[in-house]
Amino acid sequence: MNTHFAIAGWGAVSPAGWSAAALSDAVLAGTKYPAAVESRHPGAPAFPCQRAPALDTPPPWLRHTRLRRASPITRFAVAAALEALGTAAPAGGGLGIVFSVQNGGVNFSRRFYAEVLENPSLASPILFPETVFNAPSSHLAALLAAPALNNTLVSDTGGFLVALDLAAQWLDEGRVSDCLVLAAEEQDWLSTEALALYPGPKTAAEGAAALWLRRAASSGSEILLEQITAPQIITNTRSRAEAILAMRREIAAPASAALFTSASGAASWDRPHLHAFADWQGPRYALQPQFGHPFAVLSGWQCVLACELLQRGLARDAVIPADTGASQALAAWFQKTAASA
């Protein structure tokens, strides 16, 4: 069986706009996106955040019955997925979905819990189901009429790469014919204020990223999934720096590859990552200093940016480390080929 997998499409929602091109153009142009400073109510402490811009007109898919009251996380996920699939979307039957998330549907979770505390007998049965981690991927499956495998993974910034690995596994085992890999997050003061409690980036961001993975064609130019390293867990006996170094040692890509770095601009938090890649020779592209920290979406945006730049001929190999989380470190390597597999 052909175990070569290609990235057939990609999509993104970010503070730069509702497309992968908007994200990439903004990175290449170095466009500044000043963070908004928001507080949960007048007089409360204010925290910086980067929101996705509002859409001028509602897209037609919002008329789907499952999406009428969907919160931003679902809308971001659907938009990125539809952009990734484009007009050549596969028939639903064999399409798998792997959705990764860290905060999840935090808008509705906060609203529902506030109602629980206010008066549990009046807490809304409409809100509660939307608080479940897999609600966005369920809505997306309904929209795409995709009854095959659909997993929601909860992780931190590396979750998107774990999801990509699972998609490759499903394709390899013939359980799906195509697979959408997604991450999405939405802003809420619960998560925005939580970010301020940690070392590292302080500006929260929202959005989504999506890749469409399928078997590589026998000819033609494609972006191939070359490698995903084994996740290196951080424990009491292995520090984050050690996990990042272990990840770095496993990357088989040439050191001339473009590095879609996870660096945040927060010096102390970035130090283990910068140390591990100190000898990297290829060009570096960073997203967080421009857009803020999008939680589980970060490695998704890194992947989408890599695909855009590979597609535009700005690099042949791309390395995406996902090592800013507190749980595990892993990396992916994509390669653009003229005649694949």
Nearer to another protein, 226 or 308 (CB): 226
Encoded one letter per residue, x for contact with another protein by CB under 8 A and - for no contact, window 35-64 reads ---------xx-------------------
Q: Which of 52, 79, 146, 303 binds another protein (CB under 8 A)?
A: 146
| Residue 285 touching another protein (CB under 8 A) | no
Q: Which of 24, 137, 192, 264 binds another protein (CB under 8 A)?
A: 137
Q: Which of 7, 27, 166, 211 binds another protein (CB under 8 A)?
A: 166
User: For the CA atoms of the chain, what is the radius of gyration?
Assistant: 19
Q: Which of 66, 67, 245, 269 binds another protein (CB under 8 A)?
A: 66
CB 280 to another protein: min, Å:
20
CB 328 to another protein: min, Å:
6
Stretch that binds another protein, among 8-16, 160-168, 258-266, 271-279 (CB under 8 A): 160-168
- Which among 105, 8, 18, 96 has a CA at the least distance from the CA of 53? 18
Instruction: Return the residues of window 196-235 that contact another protein according to CB under 8 A.
Output: 197-198, 224-231, 233-235
For 121, counting Cβ atoms within 10 Å of its Cβ (0-12 exposed, 13-18 middle, 19+ buried), the class is: exposed
Binders of another protein: how many residues, by CB under 8 A?
Answer: 81
Q: Which of 35, 36, 62, 190 binds another protein (CB under 8 A)?
A: 190
Who's near 91: CB < 8 A, 6+ residues apart?
none
- Which among 246, 244, 227 has a CA at the least distance from the CA of 317? 227
Instruction: Return the residues of window 76-135 that contact another protein according to CB under 8 A.
Output: 97, 101-102, 104, 109-110, 112-114, 116-117, 119-121, 123-125, 128-135
Cβ of 60: how many Cβ atoms within 10 Å?
7
Contact 81, 11 (CB under 8 A): yes
Stretch that binds another protein, among 47-55, 191-199, 254-262, 303-311 (CB under 8 A): 191-199
Q: Which of 42, 56, 87, 236 binds another protein (CB under 8 A)?
A: 236
Nearer to another protein, 29 or 44 (CB): 44
| Residue 193 touching another protein (CB under 8 A) | yes
Instruction: Return the residues of window 5-24 that contact another protein according to CB under 8 A.
Output: 5
Q: Which of 238, 275, 284, 312 binds another protein (CB under 8 A)?
A: 238
Encoded one letter per residue, x for contact with another protein by CB under 8 A and - for no contact, window 251-270 reads -x------------------
Distance CA 88, CA 127 (A): 34
Residues in the chain: 341
